[in-house]
């Protein structure tokens, strides 16, 4: 199959204040000292929350399961420090939702649990063993959606089976460079994870898509691939990393609206997830930490490997505090992330970045639509955002659905380009939520 590299229509080049990605992309990942206390949420993946399986007062080891997966789509949760469980209660997630959570007082021994053991037969691992490792070690997609990886890798019930594995190394969100650094520093592990994912899914080919603003990552991964999979430099344009866009850019295939990548014969996995998968299979290591970019108005931006359940405050400390007058703190990327009301929220498995904004974070006043059509040209889903927005403002949820609201990926491109500063994405998001509640 020929690689198309066709660029999807629409999209934007988001502006970054200061040097944006340039500030952190050349800085090595810094391993942070684990905090004195972690509060680990049970709901930090797509699907059913995990159920707490430890008690207050119990001594736990690093990597011990503290939350059991429940349901077909779910993921277990593991202790990210060794120590004593001091509380089982609720916490607020960066998304604003509430979750059950386990608080552990760190004993600073980093005593690994006996369940964390290297594979006895690293060369002979089967597809079932790879999927089982992803399932039991709580591996989820680290690119944002936190979809359980075992569910993606298990293609046994799909008919027809996917034949192409698509690896997302695009990192198209402004400011974020954590995937870039993982590709530079952990290329061999990523390559191993890709080969494991190929075996688990039964796909015949794997393509890694990386935006062409990361030529060093393209070169290093090409060397690590050694002809076993293809590494493709794609034009840098947000939202290149979205599944539908990436599949189209790499294979020329289109995922039908409302369908999963399997409908186009593809499985999509992020580069960071491949690294975590390799460690789960080879070392028996659960997902107890992740790399987070801290950027924007901070004194010392960087990429930090931090334990799950530490707080955004620990990241602020690592970046030596905020600088200047800040207006907004965003978890995730500048385009898709959530603004958070306080810094004392837990680092979750899908905590991709901490972006601190200055004056540019002010929400501008909306004015009337001037019918310029920029939002329509920017929409990668070929929707008419201004039309869906008009229905939403009239609380006509059925009209919004009719105009395609459910196909909106909430990428934010329409809001970004609108000269009237209309909050189109927010309005469409509300229409989608209301349509879901009303079962439209
Ligand atoms: S937020 Fe939705 S409507 Fe707006 S550009 Fe993205 S996909 Fe299109
Ligand atoms: S970009 Fe803004 S002003 Fe232009 S058509 Fe869309 S909503 Fe109206």
What is the extent of the structural domain holding 147?
1-33+119-362
Task: Residue 307: name the closest of 80, 64, 36, 113 by CA.
Answer: 80
According to DSSP H, which parts of 319-423 are helical?
Answer: 374-378, 385-393, 397-402, 413-417
Judge if 307 and 420 occupy the same domain: no
- Which residue ranges have their beta carbon within 6 Å of ligand 2? 369-375, 386, 417-420, 422, 424
- Candidate of 371, 376, 384, 428 to mutate for ligand 2, largest count of ligand atoms within 8 Å of Cβ: 371
| Contacts made by residues 63-70, CB under 8 angstroms, sequence distance 24+ | 63/112, 63/113, 63/115, 63/116, 63/285, 63/286, 63/288, 64/113, 64/115, 65/115, 65/138, 65/286, 66/40, 66/102, 66/104, 67/40, 67/42, 67/100, 67/102, 69/135, 69/138, 69/148
Lowest mean pLDDT: which of 5-19, 166-180, 234-248, 385-399?
5-19
Nearest atom, ligand 2, residue 370 CA: 3
- Distance from the alpha carbon of residue 312 to the mean position of ligand 1, in angstroms: 29
Percentage of residues in the chain having pLDDT higher than 70: 97
pLDDT, tens only, 107-164: 999 999 999 998 766 678 999 999 999 999 999 999 878 999 999 999 999 999 999 9
Residue 417 near ligand 1, beta carbon < 6 Å: no
Write down the pLDDT at residue 18: 67
Question: For residue 86, is it within any domain?
Answer: no
Domain end call among 362, 394, 421: 362
Q: Tell me, yes or no, whether 400 lies in a domain.
A: yes
Residue whose Cα lies nearest atom 4 of ligand 2: it is: 372
Q: Each residue of 368-389: pLDDT tens digit?
A: 999 999 999 999 999 999 999 9
Q: Is the pLDDT of residue 4 over 80?
A: no
Query: In angstroms, what is the C-alpha Rg of the chain?
Result: 21
pLDDT of 436 higher than 90: yes
Q: Is there a single domain that holds both residue 270 and residue 161?
A: yes
| Ligand 1 pocket member 410 (CB < 6 A) | yes
Q: 322, 340, 362: which is the final residue of a domain?
A: 362
Same domain, 235 and 258: yes
Does ligand 1 have an atom closer than 6 angstroms to the CB of 335?
Answer: no
Compute, in angstroms, the gap from residue 427 CA to the centroid of ligand 2. 13
Question: Do 268 and 243 have their domain in common?
Answer: yes
Same domain for 266 and 211: yes
* The ligand 2 atom nearest the CA atom of 374: 1
Name the residue with the closest Cα to ligand 1, atom 8: 379
CATH for 352: 3.40.50.11540
Q: For residue 380, give the ligand nearest its CA.
A: 1
Ligand number, closest to the Cα atom of 11? 1
Q: Within this chain, do residues 358 and 385 fall inside the same structural domain, yes or no?
A: no
Confidence (pLDDT) at 2: 42
User: Can you tell me the mean pLDDT for 277-288?
Assistant: 96
Residue 270 is assigned to a structural domain of this protein? yes
The pLDDT tens digits for 185-223 are: 999 999 999 999 999 999 999 999 999 999 999 999 999
CA distance 269 to 63: 23
Residue 183, domain member (yes or no): yes
Least confident of 16-25, 229-238, 309-318, 395-404: 16-25
Pocket test for ligand 1, best of 172, 412, 432 (most atoms within 8 A of CB): 412
| Half-sphere exposure of residue 85: CA atoms within 13 angstroms, side-chain side | 22
Q: Say what the pLDDT of residue 409 is.
A: 95
Number of folded domains that form the chain: 2
Closest atom of ligand 2 to CA, residue 386: 7
Looking at the fold, whether 328 and 431 belong to one and the same domain comes out as no
- Residue 282 falls within a domain, yes or no? yes
- Same domain for 314 and 382? no
Give the residue, by CA position, lying nearest to ligand 1 atom 3: 385
Query: How far is the C-alpha of 344 from the C-alpha of 349, rounded, in Å?
Result: 16
Confidence at residue 7, expressed as pLDDT on a 0 to 100 scale: 74
Domain co-membership, 350 together with 378: no
C-alpha pair distances (Å), 186 with each of 34, 95, 273, 297:
21, 29, 12, 28
Residue 139 domain flag: yes
Residue 133: predicted pLDDT: 96
Q: For residue 155, how far is its CA from the centre of ligand 2 (angstroms)?
A: 42
Atom 6 of ligand 1: nearest residue by CA position: 411
Pick the atom of ligand 2 nearest to 424's CA: 7
Query: Ligand 1: distance of its center to the CA of 416 in Å?
Result: 10
Q: Is the CB of 293 under 6 A from ligand 1?
A: no
Name the token pair of 306: 């931090």
Residues 357 and 283 in one domain: yes
Ligand 1 atom with the shortest distance to the CA of 407: 7
Beta bridge partners of 59: 84
Q: Enter the pTM of the model.
A: 0.94
Domain end point (choices 341, 362, 383): 362
Question: Does residue 411 form part of some domain?
Answer: yes
Residue 98: how many other CB atoms lie within 10 Å = 12
Q: Are residues 128 and 23 in the same domain?
A: yes
One domain for residues 348 and 399: no
Residue 346 lies in a domain: yes
Strongest mean pLDDT among 12-21, 223-232, 332-341 = 223-232
Residue 382 Cα to ligand 1 midpoint, Å, equals: 8
CA of 147 to the centre of ligand 1 (A): 22
Our answer on whether the CB atom of 379 is closer than 6 Å to any ligand 1 atom is yes
């Amino acid at each position: 199959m020929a690689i198309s590299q066709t660029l999807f229509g629409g999209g934007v080049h988001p502006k970054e204040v200061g040097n944006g990605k340039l500030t952190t992309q050349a800085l090595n990942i810094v391993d942070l000292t684990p905090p004195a206390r972690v509060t680990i949420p049970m709901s930090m993946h797509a699907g059913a929350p995990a159920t707490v399986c430890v008690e207050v007062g119990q001594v736990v080891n690093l990597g011990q399961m503290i939350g059991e997966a429940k349901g077909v789509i779910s993921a277990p949760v593991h202790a990210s420090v060794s120590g004593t469980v001091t509380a089982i209660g609720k916490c607020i997630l960066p998304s604003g939702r509430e979750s059950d959570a386990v608080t552990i007082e760190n004993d600073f021994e980093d005593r690994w649990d006996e369940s964390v053991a290297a594979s006895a037969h690293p060369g002979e691992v089967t597809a079932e063993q790879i999927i089982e490792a992803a399932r039991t070690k709580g591996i989820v997609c680290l690119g944002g959606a936190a979809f359980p990886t075992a569910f993606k890798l298990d293609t046994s019930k799909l008919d027809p089976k996917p034949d192409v594995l698509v690896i997302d190394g695009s990192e198209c969100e402004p400011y974020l460079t954590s995937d870039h650094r993982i590709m530079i520093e952990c290329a061999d592990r990523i390559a191993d994870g890709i080969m494991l994912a190929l075996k688990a899914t039964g796909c015949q080919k794997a393509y890694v898509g990386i935006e062409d603003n990361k030529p060093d990552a393209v070169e290093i991964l090409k060397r690590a691939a050694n002809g076993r999979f293809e590494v493709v430099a794609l034009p840098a344009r947000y939202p290149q990393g979205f599944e539908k866009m990436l599949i189209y850019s790499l294979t020329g295939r289109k995922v039908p609206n409302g369908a999963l990548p399997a409908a186009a014969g593809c499985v999509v996995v992020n580069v960071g997830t491949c690294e975590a998968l390799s460690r789960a299979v080879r070392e028996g290591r659960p997902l107890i930490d992740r790399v987070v970019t801290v950027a924007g108005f901070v004194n010392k931006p960087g990429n930090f490997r931090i334990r799950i359940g530490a707080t955004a405050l620990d990241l602020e400390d690592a970046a030596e505090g905020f600088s200047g007058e800040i207006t907004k703190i965003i978890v995730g990327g500048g385009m898709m992330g959530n603004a958070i009301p306080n810094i004392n929220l837990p680092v979750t498995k899908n905590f991709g970045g901490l972006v601190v904004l200055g004056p540019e974070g002010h929400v501008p006043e909306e004015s009337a639509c001037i019918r310029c059509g920029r939002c329509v040209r920017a929409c990668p889903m070929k929707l008419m955002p201004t039309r869906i927005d008009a229905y939403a403002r009239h609380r006509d949820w059925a009209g919004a659905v009719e105009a395609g609201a459910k196909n909106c990926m909430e990428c934010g491109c329409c809001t970004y380009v609108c000269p009237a500063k209309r909050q189109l994405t927010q309005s469409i998001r509300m229409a989608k939520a209301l349509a879901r509640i009303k079962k439209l």
